[in-house]
C-alpha cells in the first residue's frame, strides 16, 4: 500500500512538472545526468577559486573575502556558483536515490548500480563539508569542533582530533594544506565512484539535454547575483560560537550531534548505510525482476549482426565465436546483467513474421514471453475486434494500463518494454491484417523504466536505427504517446484523433461528442503498481 501511494505521488509530481518542462526537459527524468552536470560546475568554479586561495591560517579567510568582495563581478559569482551547485547536487542525488527506491530499481541485475552508489553519498557529503572548513569562519569553526568530536568517539585515532582546536595557537598552516588535499582528493574519488556507478549501464547520460543544462546554469547564476554566498565572522578558537545559521543541505546531522552525542549519530548513519546496501538482497523481487529466465540466444538463428549488443541498456550481451559456424559470431547473454526487458528481441532482424513457417525462430528472445507469444497474443486480441479498421495499441507494463482502452475497435497488447516489439511486426500487421493504425505507448520521454526503450523505438520508426520500419506508408500509420503512468487522457485523445482521421479518409463524419470511455475496473494488479526497477 505504501509503495502504491509512493508511486502514485511520484508519477503525479512528474506529470505536474511535465506541464512546465515538457519531455526530456523534466528535471525528474534527468536526476543522474544533472548530478554529473552539477559536479562539473563545481569543478570548474572550484579550480578558479583555488587559484586565488591562500593556504594559511591568516590568509585563508582573507583570501576568500577578497575573492568575494573585490572580485564580486567574477570571483564572487564563482564562489556563490560553487556553493549553490554543490547544494543542488545534494538535492539531485537525494531525489535520484528516492526515485530509484520508490520505483524499485535496485534489485536483480540492478544491484551493482545501487550498491556502488551508497558510498558516493559519504563522499559527496564529506566533499561539501570539507569545503566549509576552507572558508575558516565561525561556521567552519563549529563544523571543525563538532566533526572532531564525532571522530574522537571512534576508537581509531591515537590522539584526539579535538586537541587540534583547543586554541588559535594549536593550528598551523599545514592544517589548511591538509584541507586542500582532502577537498581535491575527495571530489576526485567521488568522480571515480560515479563512473563506477554507471559501469553496467550502456548509453549512459552524464549530461542533461542542452536546454535543461543551460536553464540550470542560468538559474544558479541568477541566484548567485541575487543572494551571493558570504562568510560569517572569522573563526576564533579562543571564543565559543554562540549562534549561526544552519546549512540544511550538508549540515543536517550536526544538530543531532549536539543533542544526542556522537554515538547515536554514528549508529544512525551505520544503520542507514547497512540497510541501503542490504536492500537489493532482501529476497523479494521487483516487478521487472519477476522472471526466473531472462533473454536467451538460439545459435541456429543468430547471424552475428550485434544489433542486440548495441541496443541492450545494461551491457548484458557480448559477442563470441559461433558454437557451430566457423568464422562467425553469435550473441551471448550475461545472465547476471540481464533485466529481461526484451529490447534485444526487438532489435533482432530474424524476429520477423514474414516467414512461411508458423512459428518465429528468433536469434535472441525472452524465455517467458517470446516474440512468437506476442505474435499469437496479438492475433487473439485482433480476433476479438469487430471492425475492419482496427487500431492496435502496444504498450509497456510500466506505463499506463491498456485494458481500459480495449473495445470492439481497439486491440491492446502489453509488453515488458515496448522496445521488445520488432519493427517488422508492425509492417506485417499494417499490411496483412485489419489494422488501420498502430499506437505505441509507454514510459515518459527520457524516463523509460528500462532506460532507452522508447528512444530506440523512435529511432526504429524514424528509419534512424536498425532494424526499422521499412515502408513509408506503414510509418505514416504509427503514432506514439510517451506519457508514462497515468496517461489515460493523452492516450484516449490520441485514439480519438486516429479514429476521426480514419473516418475522414473513408468519408465518414465522426459523431458529435464522440469520446472514448475508460474502464478503470479493468486495470490488472500488476499494471496498477506502475513502474518498478532501475
CATH number (domain holding residue 180): 1.20.810.10
For residue 465, being part of any structural domain is answered with: yes
Grid cell 526487458 is found at 341
Start-end of H helices in 227-284:
254-260, 262-278
Q: Do 112 and 314 touch, CB atoms closer than 8 A?
A: no
Residue 419 has pLDDT above 70, yes or no: yes
- pLDDT per residue over 226-274, tens digit each? 999 999 999 888 888 777 777 888 988 999 998 999 999 999 999 999 9
- Check whether residue 330 and residue 188 sit in a common domain: no
Find, among 483, 476, 490, 484, the residue nearest to 518 by Cα. Answer: 490
CA 307 to chain centre: 24
Q: Are residues 264 and 311 in the same domain?
A: no
pLDDT digits (tens, 9 = 90+) for 91-121: 999 999 999 999 888 988 889 999 999 999 9
Residue 309, C-alpha cell as written in the block: 549488443
Residue 394's nearest CA partner among 495, 322, 318 is 495
pLDDT band at 1 (very low <50, low <70, confident <90, very high): low
Residues 223, 101 share a domain: yes
Instruction: Classify residue 289: in a domain, yes or no.
Output: no
**201: its cell numbers:** 549501464
Residue 454 lies in a domain: yes
Helices (H) and strands (E) in the chain, counts: 18, 8
pLDDT category of residue 302 using cuts at 50, 70 and 90: very high
For residue 490, CA distances in Å to 15, 128, 372 come to 12, 43, 30
Whether 443 is covered by a domain: the verdict is yes
Strand positions, DSSP E, 48-90: none
Report the C-alpha dihedral over residues 346, 350, 355, 361, rounded to 10 degrees: -90
Pair 208, 311 in one domain: no
299 & 275 share domain: no
**What's the domain count of the chain?**
2
Say if residue 229 is in the same domain as residue 306: no
Within this chain, do residues 269 and 301 fall inside the same structural domain, yes or no?
Answer: no
In this prediction, residue 2 carries a pLDDT of 66
Is position 165 within any domain? Answer: yes
CA 136 to chain centre: 37
- pLDDT digit string (tens) for 356-396? 555 667 899 998 889 889 988 998 998 888 888 899 999 99
Of 222, 255, 281, which residue is a domain's last? 281
Q: What is the residue range of 402's domain?
A: 295-528
pLDDT at site 185 = 95
| Helix 31-52 with 210-226: angle, nearest 10 deg | 50
Q: Identify the pLDDT of residue 284.
A: 53
Whether residues 276 and 323 fall in one domain: no
User: CA gyration radius for the chain?
Assistant: 28
User: Same domain for 305 and 252?
Assistant: no
- Tell me if 6 is assigned to some domain: no
* 340 and 473 together in one domain: yes
Amino acid at each position: 500500500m505504501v509503495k502504491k501511494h509512493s508511486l502514485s505521488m511520484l508519477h503525479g509530481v512528474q506529470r505536474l512538472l511535465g506541464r512546465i518542462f515538457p519531455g526530456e526537459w523534466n528535471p525528474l527524468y534527468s536526476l543522474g545526468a544533472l548530478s554529473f552536470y552539477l559536479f562539473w560546475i563545481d569543478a570548474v568554479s572550484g579550480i578558479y577559486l583555488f587559484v586565488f586561495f591562500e593556504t594559511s591560517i591568516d590568509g585563508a579567510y582573507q583570501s576568500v573575502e577578497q575573492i568575494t568582495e573585490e572580485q564580486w563581478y567574477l570571483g564572487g559569482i564563482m564562489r556563490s556558483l560553487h556553493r549553490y551547485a554543490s547544494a543542488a547536487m545534494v538535492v539531485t542525488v537525494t531525489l535520484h536515490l528516492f526515485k530509484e527506491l520508490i520505483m524499485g530499481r535496485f534489485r536483480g541485475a540492478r544491484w551493482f548500480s545501487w550498491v556502488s552508489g551508497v558510498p558516493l553519498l559519504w563522499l559527496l557529503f564529506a566533499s561539501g563539508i570539507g569545503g566549509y572548513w576552507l572558508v575558516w569562519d565561525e561556521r567552519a569553526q563549529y563544523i571543525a569542533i563538532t566533526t572532531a568530536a564525532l571522530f574522537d568517539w571512534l576508537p581509531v585515532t591515537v590522539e584526539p582530533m579535538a586537541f587540534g582546536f583547543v586554541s588559535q595557537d594549536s593550528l598551523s598552516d599545514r592544517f589548511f594544506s591538509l584541507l586542500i588535499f582532502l577537498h581535491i582528493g575527495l571530489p576526485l574519488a567521488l568522480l571515480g565512484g560515479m563512473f563506477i556507478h554507471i559501469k553496467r549501464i550502456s548509453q549512459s547520460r552524464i549530461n542533461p539535454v542542452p536546454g535543461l543544462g543551460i536553464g540550470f546554469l542560468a538559474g544558479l547564476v541568477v541566484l548567485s547575483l541575487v543572494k551571493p554566498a558570504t562568510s560569517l565572522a572569522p573563526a576564533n578558537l579562543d571564543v565559543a560560537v554562540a549562534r549561526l545559521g544552519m546549512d540544511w543541505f550538508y549540515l543536517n546531522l550536526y544538530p543531532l550531534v549536539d543533542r544526542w552525542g556522537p554515538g547515536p549519530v554514528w549508529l544512525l548513519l551505520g544503520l542507514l548505510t547497512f540497510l541501503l546496501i542490504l536492500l537489493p538482497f532482501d529476497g523479494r523481487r521487483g516487478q521487472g525482476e519477476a522472471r526466473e529466465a531472462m533473454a536467451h540466444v538460439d545459435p541456429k538463428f543468430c547471424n552475428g549482426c550485434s544489433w542486440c549488443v548495441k541496443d541492450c541498456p545494461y551491457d548484458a550481451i557480448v559477442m563470441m565465436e559461433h558454437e557451430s559456424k566457423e568464422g562467425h559470431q553469435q550473441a551471448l547473454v550475461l545472465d547476471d546483467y540481464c533485466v529481461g526487458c526484451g529490447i534485444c528481441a526487438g532489435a533482432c532482424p530474424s524476429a520477423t513474421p514474414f516467414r512461411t513457417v508458423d512459428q518465429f525462430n528468433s536469434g535472441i528472445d525472452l524465455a517467458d514471453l517470446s516474440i512468437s507469444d506476442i505474435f499469437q497474443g496479438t492475433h487473439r486480441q485482433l480476433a476479438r475486434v469487430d471492425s475492419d479498421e482496427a487500431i492496435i495499441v502496444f504498450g509497456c507494463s510500466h506505463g499506463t494500463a491498456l485494458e481500459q482502452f480495449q473495445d470492439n475497435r481497439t486491440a491492446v497488447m502489453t509488453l515488458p518494454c515496448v522496445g521488445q516489439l520488432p519493427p517488422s511486426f508492425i509492417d506485417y500487421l499494417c499490411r496483412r491484417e485489419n489494422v488501420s493504425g498502430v499506437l505505441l505507448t509507454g514510459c515518459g520521454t527520457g524516463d523509460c523504466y528500462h532506460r532507452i526503450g522508447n528512444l530506440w523505438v523512435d529511432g526504429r520508426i524514424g528509419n534512424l536505427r536498425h532494424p526499422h520500419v521499412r515502408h513509408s506508408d506503414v510509418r505514416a500509420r504509427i503514432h506514439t504517446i510517451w506519457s508514462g503512468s497515468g496517461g489515460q487522457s493523452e492516450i484516449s485523445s490520441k485514439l480519438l484523433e486516429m479514429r476521426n482521421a480514419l473516418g475522414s479518409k473513408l468519408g465518414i463524419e465522426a459523431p458529435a461528442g464522440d469520446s472514448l470511455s475508460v474502464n478503470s475496473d479493468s486495470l490488472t494488479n500488476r499494471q496498477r503498481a506502475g513502474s518498478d526497477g532501475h
